[in-house]
């Protein structure tokens, strides 16, 4: 199940029209939703963040400040996850620290010319030395011949990384394997940093990349388990136990995705057996929760849930 929030906003945008000039609005929406299954980050950056979620007070906030805050969050996510340089769109590259419009244009032109980039070093032909230094750590090459180009390790630290591997008799083929986790489980970071003539923060980051070299940080987040047989209100029964994902937390409750077209509501009074002032004391967006169907209103197409096991 893919969250379709903001798909209609994208489908009517100038960007969508430029990408798919021959498609109808609903067809563009379908493409956007399909792409989200393949690479959600690349697709969601094409939509203004405030159009992705539903909030109560976004219209009461100064639009400029809201855009700045949301853009900062998106930029942080993009740089944390990293970007596949061979598949990244212009919209995604806009959020990579150190890249400006001119450099993005040069990168896209170069990709069109060579077809596929196989090494970070190739990008020295595209970027100025300063831009390369600032941005290369966020650009990943999953098909690279050098395994370090697939990780978040900056090329400036490759020598340090290779020294650490040498100390522990490891090779680049060992990255991500269980033995790497075992070796670095109780390592003295400061002592190791001194051995390789580096600082402890760089060494810490390198070790994290050795343990989980190519993984998206989101892999550690619990995935929602949605019932494949719950697609319409007719599939629900009062008292049915479900698993859902919290999509939004508001003053009077929270909206939970249980696999239907519209999210279901759990009222604040049905969140906890104990008194709470606000739902955010118990729930956060993205939480996976066990819930029970409290009421089904087919006329209004609404479902009420409870988190209390009655």
CATH number at residue 24: 3.30.420.140
**pTM for this model (two decimals):** 0.68
For helices 158-167 and 200-211, the axis angle rounded to 10 degrees is: 70
Query: Alpha-carbon distance 146 to 142, whole Å?
Result: 10
pLDDT tens for the 310 residues of the chain, in order: 677 778 888 999 998 998 899 999 999 999 998 988 888 878 888 887 767 765 556 667 777 887 888 788 888 888 888 889 998 888 889 989 899 999 999 999 999 898 889 999 999 999 999 999 999 999 999 888 899 999 889 999 999 999 999 999 999 988 888 888 888 888 899 999 999 999 999 999 999 889 888 766 666 666 656 556 777 888 888 888 888 888 889 889 999 988 887 889 999 999 998 899 999 999 998 888 889 999 998 888 889 999 987 6
Q: Is residue 156 assigned to a domain?
A: no
Contact predicate 18/47, CB 8 Å? no
In a domain, 111, yes or no: no
The parent domain of residue 256 ranges over 233-306
Determine phi and psi for 131, rounding to 5 degrees: -65, -40
Q: Please tell me the predicted confidence (pLDDT) of residue 24.
A: 93
Decide if 212 is inside a domain.
no
Count of domains for the chain? 2
pLDDT given at position 55: 58
**Nearest-angstrom CA–CA distance, 277 and 290:** 21
Residue 14 Cα distances to 3, 67, 148, 226, angstroms: 22, 19, 38, 34
Is there a domain that residue 207 lies in?
no
Residue 9 forms part of a structural domain: yes
Which tokens hold the place of 69?
Answer: 């805050």
* Residue in 198, 307, 212, 197 with CA at minimum distance from that of residue 256: 307
* Res 201: pLDDT: 92
Question: Which of 128, 166, 132, 161 is closest to 146 using CA atoms?
Answer: 161
Q: How far apart are CA 110 and CA 263, in angstroms?
A: 43
* Inside any domain, residue 283: yes
3 is a domain residue? yes
> Do the Cβ atoms of 64 and 71 come closer than 8 Å?
no
Q: Which two tokens stand for residue 72?
A: 């900062």
Residue 45: the pLDDT is 83
Q: What is the CATH number of the domain that holds 248?
A: 2.40.50.140
Kindly state whether residue 15 falls inside one of the protein's structural domains.
yes
Residues forming a β-bridge with 256 = 246, 264
């Amino acid at each position: 199940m893919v969250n379709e929030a903001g798909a209609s906003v994208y489908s009517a945008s100038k960007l969508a029209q430029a990408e798919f000039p021959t498609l109808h609005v609903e067809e563009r929406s379908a493409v956007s939703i399909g792409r989200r299954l393949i690479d959600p980050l690349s697709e969601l950056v094409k939509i203004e963040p405030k159009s992705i979620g539903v909030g109560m007070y976004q219209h009461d906030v100064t639009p400029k400040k809201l855009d700045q805050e949301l853009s900062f969050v998106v930029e942080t996510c993009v740089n944390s996850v990293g970007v596949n340089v061979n598949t990244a769109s212009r919209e995604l590259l806009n959020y990579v620290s150190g890249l400006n419009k001119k450099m993005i244009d040069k990168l896209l032109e170069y990709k069109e010319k060579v077809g596929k980039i196989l090494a970070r070093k190739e990008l020295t032909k595209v970027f100025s030395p300063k831009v390369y230094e600032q941005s290369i750590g966020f650009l990943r090459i999953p098909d690279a011949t050098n395994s370090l180009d697939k990780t978040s390790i900056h090329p400036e630290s490759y020598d340090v990384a290779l020294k650490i591997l040498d100390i522990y008799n490891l090779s680049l083929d060992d990255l991500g394997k269980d033995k790497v986790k075992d070796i670095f489980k109780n390592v003295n970071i400061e002592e190791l940093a001194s051995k390789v003539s580096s600082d402890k923060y760089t060494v810490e980051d390198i070790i994290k990349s050795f343990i989980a070299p190519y993984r998206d940080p989101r892999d550690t987040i619990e995935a929602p388990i949605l019932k494949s047989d719950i697609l319409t209100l007719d599939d629900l029964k009062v008292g049915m136990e479900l698993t859902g994902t919290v999509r939004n937390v508001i003053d009077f409750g929270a909206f939970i995705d249980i696999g239907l077209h519209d999210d279901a509501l759990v009222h604040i009074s049905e969140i906890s057996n104990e008194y709470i002032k606000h739902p955010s004391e118990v729930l956060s967006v993205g939480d996976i929760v066990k819930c029970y169907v409290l009421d089904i209103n087919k006329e209004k197409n609404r479902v009420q849930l409870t988190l209390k096991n009655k």
